[in-house]
């Protein structure tokens, strides 16, 4: 039986992997409480490395991103390789590609990377270091996902849900951008396939098809049984708001779409759930958790 060690305890992706993966011999360990050099890697076959500083924040010093996302990752990999781990699976990010250029050819697994923020650079440098360590006895699998959604998600997707619950009128009508997402069960399915095939390389994992912000709000509100009217924000206001809050408004109005045909071909795997189906499943678990919390109070 294959034994998997998750490095990075109580993470969003790790929690879902333990719940949905068909690999059941899974342990996780905190890298806050344990140095990589003190971990007994010898009893495991696979390391799924999830420990990271994920969201770009001005409150976190730049060197901290590299200390955690790059240096700590490579220390874990070095110790794992020395102990005889067969495969190291690293959750990276699509941010390694840098800015999305509208109307350009879609980036794929072989496209050059030009990360333009600290988060993307720290992850990309970790990728480079890992590939240098790879040999026939130590397989390195690098996963680049878009925004992940599903049971337990926080940050931007949770903020959208709260906004839909609060307001029946939202300024997200007629937005024609295209953004990729991945549902947690689809992500876990990709990871399982990568482990099953001992697949080496870079993988872009995502749901089939991209959504606009307008379509995303529609599917969320429909699954929440909330009637929401969407109106179009004047273009001058969008330009002004984007100037002052570029990151937030680029996520709402900008596109972020990729080509993962090589990943699909190599793994012979297509995600079982569309984004619409993923949202429905997520919202069902969200409403159940909310109801249980209300009943316990």
As a whole number of angstroms, the longest Cα–Cα distance in the chain is 59
- Counting residues of the chain whose pLDDT is more than 90, the rounded percentage is 71
For residue 252, the model assigns a pLDDT of 77
Q: Are 18 and 50 in contact (CB under 8 A)?
A: no
d(C-alpha 150, C-alpha 37), whole Å: 33
pLDDT at 155 over 90: no
Q: Which residue has the tokens 């440098």?
A: 125
Query: Using one digit for the tens of pLDDT, what is the confidence trace for 157-176?
Result: 888 888 898 888 998 899 99
d(C-alpha 282, C-alpha 297), whole Å: 23
Q: Which residue has the tokens 């098809």?
A: 209
Query: Using one digit for the tens of pLDDT, what is the confidence trace for 28-37?
Result: 999 999 999 9
Query: Using one digit for the tens of pLDDT, what is the confidence trace for 221-254?
Result: 999 889 999 999 888 877 876 777 766 667 777 8
For residue 29, the model assigns a pLDDT of 97
In the chain, the domains with their CATH numbers are: 4-211+251-293 (3.40.50.720)
């Amino acid at each position: 039986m294959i034994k998997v060690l998750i490095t990075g305890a109580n993470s969003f992706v790790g929690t879902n992997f333990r719940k949905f993966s068909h690999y059941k011999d899974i342990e996780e360990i905190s890298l806050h409480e344990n140095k990589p050099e003190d971990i007994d890697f010898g009893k495991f076959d696979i390391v799924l490395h999830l420990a990271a500083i994920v969201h770009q924040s001005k409150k976190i010093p730049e060197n901290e991103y590299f200390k955690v996302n790059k240096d700590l990752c490579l220390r874990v990999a070095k110790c794992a390789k020395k102990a005889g781990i067969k495969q190291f699976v690293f959750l990276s990010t699509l941010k390694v590609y840098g800015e999305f250029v509208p109307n350009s050819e879609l980036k794929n697994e072989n496209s050059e990377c030009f990360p333009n923020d600290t988060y993307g650079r720290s992850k990309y440098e970790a990728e480079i270091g890992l590939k240098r360590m790879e040999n026939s006895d130590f397989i390195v699998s690098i996963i680049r996902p878009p925004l992940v959604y599903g049971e337990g998600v926080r940050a931007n997707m949770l903020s959208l849900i709260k906004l839909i619950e609060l307001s029946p009128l939202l300024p997200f009508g007629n937005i024609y951008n295209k953004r990729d997402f991945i549902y947690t069960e689809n992500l876990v399915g990709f990871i399982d396939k990568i482990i099953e095939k001992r697949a080496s390389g870079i993988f872009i994992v995502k749901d089939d098809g991209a959504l606009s912000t307008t379509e995303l709000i529609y599917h969320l509100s429909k699954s929440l049984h909330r009637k929401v009217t969407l109106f179009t924000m004047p273009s001058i206001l969008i330009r002004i708001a984007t100037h002052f809050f570029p990151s937030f408004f680029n996520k709402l109005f900008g596109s972020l779409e990729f080509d993962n045909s090589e990943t699909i071909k190599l793994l012979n795997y297509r995600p079982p759930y569309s984004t619409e189906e993923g949202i429905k499943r997520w919202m069902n678990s969200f409403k159940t958790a909310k109801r249980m919390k209300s009943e316990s109070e």
